[in-house]
Amino acid sequence: MSRIGVFVCHCGENISRTVDVERVAAEVGKLPGVALATDYKYMCSDPGQGLLKKAIAEQRLSHVVVAACSPRMHERTFRKAVESAGINPFLCEMANIREHCSWVHDNREEATEKAIEIVGMMVERVKRNRALPAITVPVTKRSLIIGGGIAGIQAALDIADAGHEVVLVEREPSIGGHMAQLSETFPTLDCSQCIMTPRMVDVANHPRITLHSYSEVEHVEGYIGNFQVTIRKKARSVDEKKCTGCGVCIEKCPIRKIPNKFDCNLGMRPAIYIPFPQAVPNTPVIDRESCAMFKSGKCGLCKKVCGPGAVDYEQEDRLIVEPVGAIVVATGFDLYDITEKPKGSQIKGYGEFGHGRIPDVIDGMTFERLASASGPTGGRILRPSDGREPKQIVFIQCVGSRAREKGISYCSKVCCMYTAKQTMLYHHKVHDGQAYVFFMDARTPGKSYDEFWRRSIEEEEAVYIRGMVSRLYQKGDKIVVMGSDIAVGVQVEIEADMVVLATAVQPRSGADILAQKLGISYDKYHFYSEAHAKLRPVECATAGIYLAGACQGPKDIPDTVSQASAAAAKVMTLFAREKLEREPIVARVREAGCVGCFYCRKVCAYGAIEEKEIRDRQGNLIKVVAYVNPGVCGGCGTCQATCPSKSVELDGYTDEQIVAMIEAL
Amino acid sequence: MDKTLNYAYYPGCSLHASAGEYDLSTRELFNLLGVGLTEVPDWFCCGATPAHNVDELLSLSLCAKNLELAEQVDGDVAVACAACFSRLKFTQHTLLEDETKRRQVEKAIDAPARLDGKVKHLLEILARDIGLERLASAVSKPLSGVKVACYYGCLLTRPPDVPNLDCVEAPTIMERVVEAAGAETVPWSHRMECCGANFTLSRPGVVIQLSNAILDSAKSSGADCVVVACPLCHGNLDMRQKEIEGVYNAEYGLPVFYITQLLAVACGAGAEKSGLGALMVDPFPLLKVKNIL
């Protein structure tokens, strides 16, 4: 016979104003199995919890119902309290008479009646609860980091420095990401490469970091603490272990006119190449689509000149499996490409800018490569069309961003600042030039950001025009920029030598495919979704997977680094435990009834359903039934709703309990 | 005669007046292509620019009534004038989105509004329904060596999501049609700019400035002529060209054809049936030099 204790909370006046709590306690006290029913002003307070614990001891209570607020608010509080008084925490339930009753009703009489019924239902449910043992799962203390930009590098170094092994996967031949492409960074104008490349080298030399460059995540299995990740190491055609990075192969390659993606296609590279001189690893890769050996079988020069014999035309993609306990996703961003009309997309493109077909209309990243000392022009700002120095340059902000009618409504966050920086770099390099900026607003929230923006206007003589540009067209060797100046209310036309578009920040291409492999959610633009915008900003809703950098939303370098360190801290918190304890509300299969149809496996979103063989004493197979892996089960109950033979049930939500609750009404 | 293709032809007021040559050449071209074109009986003005500035309900009702009249003829509605096209499409778009306005309009015209009937500009019919291949095969006098600046103006593609003729800001449909007739099209900057439209009467100074920019751009792109699909554009670029040349001390001499005129010529209609005599800037020297007429 159960001895249930019911504790009715006043919640100050939140409940007692509308619900006669004393009457609720008196009525519920009459129910069979209830040993004690009482009320108190604040059950969650220290004296309230004391009252609960004291009653458990004195009245030898077997189950507890707290009639108060939503379980989302205080279930954990009261379960801890009963646990400390010696009762299994899952024998304590909450009856929500605040959100579901007092807050939404005015009539005291009716609200009280309803509260009595709500509490009565929970009494019937808790009676049928089982004491559930905690489920523990082991933790593999290695982490996978996807993306080797500044976010991935920061997270990798933090976790590795804390003493844990890290596997870093990068899609490109070198780590470094977009930050390695930048010239100088706001708001301090320090050289991006100078602060970036030492960190890249730290990654390469770290004893606890395994770097897989030119590799992609192929497949992910498992759950928090126990992921199995399959990584595809794409064929580099150069043996990383043998290669010394001497660069002779690159010098000798006869195919030299391939646009270099790292330089935004401004410079050229050979078919065997490293993307940039400071690349990590400093191992070349053969671009098989351009290489003469792969196209026609006639060349083989790089193999001939390679002293250590590292060039290997026969190399194939390799699949490797890495067991890890946590995953940090840091796949970063791409810039919105306006050079062609997007196909079959919600994004509408920029036909009024000729879809970017004018050669001297470039995007912000291309300008960074022009301004970079290690870029294709050695840091001189020159027009891609004729190599002349532009004397009038126009920067256009919010190209794609904040343009609902074009399909993107968000702000890309970094463009106001980098445009201000680029006007400065331009002014430093072209003294007799004039920079104009078309802008909607200048958004400069950040330490020393507004001062920096003001400097571009006051000291570096950039002319800011508030308004948008309606059209760009080529007129002779000039680009006519037609825009509006809404501060003065006039149309403006500028004949520019070069136009720089601050195009929107978008998630890296293929972000959606990776998300599907990982089982994490993303928004309509394919930015990854955090579990809670404010309180869990670096965690995914999927346990054990964390986010860092621009893959979650547009971010500048300081924010990216902060988030990466935060994600690393979350991983370390996870790794601080030997075993993970998780809520034991999971589904269980009644093997006698299970017919092995495995409909449950089809609907299980967590992949928790496994097969289990039932054998007789002689070892003969009788049948195969479903088995729920408690480490993986998410406790959603979909299997229970699906099972045709009613043979799988979720603890705490069994059919028997639900029926008993209904009958209590 | 292609029995499967027939259109309810809505010429609009201009084509019965100042743009008579557009009407003439359209009928002749469709005749040569073997495509049926039946004028909507009792059609009347779509309201053009004035109506929707004065009374929205009136402008929507005028178009809705015309669309209802067009139901008497089998086939989609074929429209030549860019302004009529815009108003008819706008009406369908507005009434689909706004239930209240639809009810008001239906009360005014005393009939259900025709929202799903297809309203097509001649360019769509030529490029998509008839098709470029069939068009090309009908060409007997290819426009070889003629460099054409295709001019869309404001209304053919805009605003986004309403006419859905082609890409809003960088369309190619007119170029493709002109190229099917053997001509060469030039890339140029002012394909989508406004000519000043009906300010031609109230603020001619504005029109002269805007149209000059268009002619200047077309000329400097190397074009021999301009092709349009709108009576107002035609008026401003053709009729006012001499005046513009005077004001800006320029010499353009750019014949301005309606799209159907140029195609009718290419299909062998001859000068008269293509209405070439109605053009203010003499097109004959160009067509003779290129051995087309």
**pLDDT tens digits, residue range A158-188?**
999 999 999 999 999 999 999 999 999 999 9
* Whether residues B145 and B86 fall in one domain: no
The minimal CB distance from B169 to the residues A351, A474, A480 is found for: A351
CA of A267 to nearest chain B CA: how many angstroms apart? 28
Residues of B with Cβ-Cβ distance to A474 under 8 angstroms: 189
Interval A294-309 mean pLDDT? 94
Count of the separate structural domains present in chain A = 5
**Cβ separation of B170 and A355 shorter than 8 Å?**
yes
Is B88 part of a structural domain of the chain? yes
One domain, residues B172 and B45: no
Indicate if B49 and B98 belong to the same structural domain: yes
- Percent helix, strand, coil in chain A, to 5, is 30, 25, 45
Query: Residue B181 is part of which domain span?
Result: 141-289
> How near does any CA of chain B get to the CA of A567, in Å?
43
A341 with B192: Cβ contact below 8 A:
no
Are A155 and A23 in a shared domain? no
Q: Which domain CATH number covers A529?
A: 3.50.50.60
d(CA A596, CA A123): 35
Q: Is there a single domain that holds both residue B236 and residue B164?
A: yes
> CA B151, CA B175: separation in Å to the nearest integer?
9
pLDDT value of residue B161: 86
* Mean pLDDT to the nearest integer, B217-230: 96
Same domain, residue pair B114 and B164: no
Classify residue B67: in a domain, yes or no: yes
Question: How near does any CA of chain B get to the CA of A348, in Å?
Answer: 9
Looking at the structure, tell me whether residues A362 and A448 fall in a common domain. yes
Q: Are A36 and A64 in contact (CB under 8 A)?
A: no
B136 occurs within a structural domain: no
Chain B (196-225) residues lying within 8 Å, Cβ to Cβ, of chain A:
217, 220
Task: Provide the pLDDT for residue B120.
Answer: 97
- The yes-or-no verdict on residue B1 having pLDDT over 60 is no
Cβ-based contacts of A349 with chain B (< 8 Å): 167, 170
Q: What is the mean pLDDT of residues A353-366?
A: 90
Q: What is the CATH number of the domain that holds B276?
A: 3.40.50.11810
Q: Is A649 helix (H, G, I), strand (E, B) or coil?
A: strand
Are A307 and A452 members of one domain? no
Residue B36 sits in a domain of what CATH number?
Answer: 1.20.1050.140
Asked, for residue A516, whether it belongs to a domain, the answer is: no
- The pLDDT score that the predictor gives to residue A246 is 94
Mutate to test the interface with A, among B151, B162, B189 (most CBs of A within 10 A): B189
Closest alpha carbon within chain A to B192: A352
Classify B261 as helix, strand or coil.
helix
The one-letter amino acid code at A8 reads V
CA B155, B160, B164 angle in degrees (round to 5)? 75
What is the pLDDT confidence band of residue A348, given thresholds at 50, 70 and 90? confident
Residue A513 resides in a domain = no
Residues of A in contact with B169 (CB under 8 A): 350-352
Measure the CA dihedral A380/A385/A387/A391, to 10°: -70
Q: pLDDT, tens digit, for every residue of A34-84?
A: 999 999 999 999 999 999 999 999 999 999 999 999 998 899 899 999 999
Residue of B nearest to A342 (CA): B167
- Among A404, A483, A408, A411, smallest CA distance to A445 is for A411
Minimum-distance CB partner of B167 among A351, A473, A475? A351
Q: Dihedral of CA B1/B4/B10/B15: which sign?
A: negative
* pLDDT tens string B169-189: 899 999 999 999 999 999 999
Chain A residues contacting B via beta carbons under 8 Å = 341, 348-352, 354-355, 405, 471, 473-475, 480
| Dihedral Cα A145, A147, A153, A155, nearest 10 deg | -40
For residues B14 and B148, membership in a common domain is answered with no
Give me the numbers of helices (H) and strands (E) for chain B, helices first please.
Answer: 15, 8
Residues B145 and B117 in one domain: no
Distance to chain B for A354, nearest Cα, Å: 7
- How much is the pTM? 0.80
The residue from A251, A281, A316 where one domain ends is: A316
Decide if A499 is inside a domain: yes
Q: What is the pLDDT of residue B198?
A: 86
Out of A25-29, A539-543, B140-144, pick the least confident. Answer: A539-543
pLDDT at A37: 96
Average pLDDT over residues A104-122: 96
What is the mean predicted confidence (pLDDT) over A72-101? 94
Contact residues on chain B for A340, CB-CB shorter than 8 A: none
pLDDT tens digits, residue range A119-133?
Answer: 999 999 999 999 999
Q: Interface pTM (ipTM) of the complex?
A: 0.79
CA distance B188 to chain A (A): 8
Q: Identify whether residues A382 and A242 lie together within a single domain.
A: no
The least confident of A25-34, A331-340, B140-149 is A331-340
Distance from CA of B221 to the nearest CA of A (A): 9
| Mean pLDDT (chain B, rounded) | 95
Q: B134 lies in a domain?
A: no
Contact B36, B5 (CB under 8 A): yes
Chain B residues touching residue A341 (CB < 8 angstroms):
167, 170
Q: Are residues A50 and A61 part of one domain?
A: yes
Distance CA B64, CA A123 (A): 66
A150-161 and A192-205 helices, crossing angle to 10°: 40
Q: Please, are residues A160 and A199 in contact by the beta-carbon 8 Å criterion?
A: no
Alpha-helical segments (H) within A85-173: 108-127, 150-161
Interface test with B, best of A346, A347, A348, A469 (most B CBs within 10 A): A348
- Top residue of A348, A469, A473 to mutate, by most chain B CBs within 10 Å, is A473
What pLDDT is stored for residue A344 in this prediction?
67
Read off the pLDDT of residues B89-139 as tens digits, 9 standing for 90 and up.
999 999 999 999 999 999 999 999 988 889 999 999 999 999 999 999 999
Question: Shortest CB distance from B189 goes to which of A341, A350, A474?
Answer: A474
A538 in any annotated domain: no
Same domain membership, residue B95 and residue B151: no
A57 lies in the same domain as A74: yes
Q: Are residues B107 and B53 in the same domain?
A: yes
| Closest Cβ–Cβ partner in A341, A405, A474 for B167 | A341
Domain boundary at A287, A316, A345, which?
Answer: A316
Q: Is the pLDDT of residue B88 over 60?
A: yes
Let me know if residue A615 belongs to a domain: yes
B169 touches chain A (CB under 8 A): yes
Residues of chain B positioned with their CB less than 8 A from the CB of A354:
170
pLDDT at A531: 87
Q: Considering CB atoms only, which of B169, B190, B217 is closest to A352? A: B169
Query: In what side-by-side order are the strands of the sheet with A478-485?
Result: A469-475, A478-485, A490-496
- Calculate what percentage of chain A has a pLDDT beyond 90: 89
B170 and A351 within 8 Å at the Cβ level: the answer is yes
Q: Which among A354, A355, A405 is the nearest to B160, CB-wise? A: A405
Residue B89 parent element (H or E): helix B82-97
- Total count of domains within chain B: 2
B173: in domain:
yes
Q: Give pLDDT, residue A137.
A: 84
> What CA–CA distances, in Å, run from A659 to A130, A630, A639, A654?
16, 25, 18, 9
Per-residue pLDDT band for A235 (boundaries 50, 70, 90) equals: very high
Residue A70: how many other CB atoms lie within 10 Å: 12
The answer to whether position B135 is within a domain reads: no
B172–chain A Cβ distance below 8 A for any pair: no
pLDDT tens for residues A312-338? 999 999 999 999 999 999 999 999 988
Q: Which domain holds residue A193?
A: 135-228+319-332+523-533+543-579
User: Is B107 found in the same domain as B70?
Assistant: yes
Q: Judge: A473–B167 Cβ closer than 8 Å, yes or no.
A: no
Residue in B with minimal Cα distance to A480: B189
Would the CB atoms of B217 and A354 count as touching at under 8 Å? Answer: no
